[in-house]
Amino acid sequence: MPSELHPRRTGERARPIDVAGSRTLPSWAYTDPGLWEAEKALFMRHWQYVCHASALDAPGKYITTAIRDQEVFLACGQDGEIRAFYNVCAHRGHPLVEGEGTKQRLVCPYHAWTYDLAGRLIGAPGSNRTEGFVRSKICLSPVRVDRLLGFVFINLDPDARPLADHAGDLAAQIRDRVPGVEDFRPHQGTGYFSAEIAANWKIVIDNFLECYHCETAHPTFSDMLDVPGTTHGFGENYTHQHIPSACKAQNAAYPIDLDHDFVDGNFWLLYPNTTFGHLPGSPNLSVSRVESLAPERSRRWRHIYGPTGVWTENDEKRRRWGIDNVTAEDIRLCEAVQRGMHSRGFSQGHYIINPDNENFTEECVRFFHRHYTRDMGEALAA
């Protein structure tokens, strides 16, 4: 059997040891196409972030998204309710809409079947002479929709727990740390960012979940925040990292008003792949989803939220710093780790768990791996 003293052969699945105990997921969990296919079921049964409710605040507004290979659209109905449907016509399977916009009726571009905003078929050319065709019995297939602090999520599993049950007291905790969050709205234009990463989605999540690397890899971040003072908290399905202020108005990241701004950093993961981030400065919250595009390719996209109509020069400095520094640094780290997953000299990592110094701990990573092995146990053992 391969071991740390006997390198594994390329493509070999080393039997993992004490996963989510003292040892991390095995390297092949980040490269194996079969496991990546099996993960599809994980994303189908967990809540996935899409947007803020204000993006769908008028009848006819719609937005599209995808969960792996399942295309979905959300639309605001004439009654003001946000509904979601699989983005596929009931006639021959053509997608109904692309991107986002406003439509009072949904007309399939293939054969012009037409649906109202509640998903009911209201027009099908030639159907009035078709024997056995009952228009009232045909509708789009619905997808579950729920909200957390005004953020809209969908779930492809009709039997999944309600979002509030899955999130537990996460909403209350964010509300406490980010006062006024329920009045936040997306920053238009500059409030959206997306990046494709040449790394498995779990490597991106692993990296988000620890600041053990921050003082080494994020010098400007570590000049603004007191990284050694990091503490962690856990709910049933979420993690929380709190990083206190370094109390430096002028720091290597961006200016902070220590008397009026928020000065600490707070970062949450809602399992499996939604992150929330609250940085020092004026009121803000970023919400992102990490998408699994291929065994070794992912996309992380995020929206930045704040008080309606407020976007200062310092907000722009914070945004640019985030993209040009921390995000760029993290992408390089994740892509380098992905290359390491193919090394014959590496088969499974080790956690650092230090109860006396939470900065030097990877408890949140282990939390994520425990949840992942619970969901993927059979596929990991195969």
Query: Are 229 and 93 contained in the same domain?
Result: no
CATH number of the domain within which 187 lies: 3.90.380.10
Stretch 215-235: mean pLDDT, rounded?
97
CATH number of the domain within which 138 lies: 2.102.10.10
Mean pLDDT rounded to a whole number for the chain: 93
Domain count within the chain: 2
Write the pLDDT tens digit of every residue in 82-115. 999 999 999 999 999 999 999 999 999 999 999 9
How many Å apart are CA 38 and CA 61, to the nearest integer? Answer: 34
Domain boundary among 120, 155, 190: 155
Neighbours of 239 (CB within 10 A): 24
Confidence of residue 381 (pLDDT cuts 50, 70, 90): confident
Least confident of 132-136, 241-245, 260-264: 132-136
Q: Residue 105's domain spans which residues?
A: 48-155
Write the pLDDT tens digit of every residue in 41-90. 999 999 999 999 999 999 999 999 999 999 999 999 999 999 999 999 99
Of 317, 215, 304, the C-alpha closest to 256 is 317
Write the pLDDT tens digit of every residue in 31-41. 999 999 999 99
In sequence order, which ranges of 115-227 are alpha helices (DSSP H)? 163-167, 170-177, 201-208, 214-217, 219-224
What's the pTM value of the predicted model, to 2 decimals?
A: 0.94
Q: How far is CA 276 from the centre of its chain?
A: 9
According to DSSP, the β-strands at 106-107 and 100-102 are: unpaired
How many Å apart are CA 63 and CA 361, to the nearest integer? Answer: 39
Query: Are 280 and 342 contained in the same domain?
Result: yes
Stretch 198-224: mean pLDDT, rounded?
97
Q: Quick one: CA torsion of 290, 303, 195, 160, rounded to 10 degrees?
A: 20
Confidence of residue 9 (pLDDT cuts 50, 70, 90): very low
Q: Which residue has the higher pLDDT, 112 or 9?
A: 112
Query: Are 130 and 273 contained in the same domain?
Result: no
Query: Are 228 and 135 contained in the same domain?
Result: no
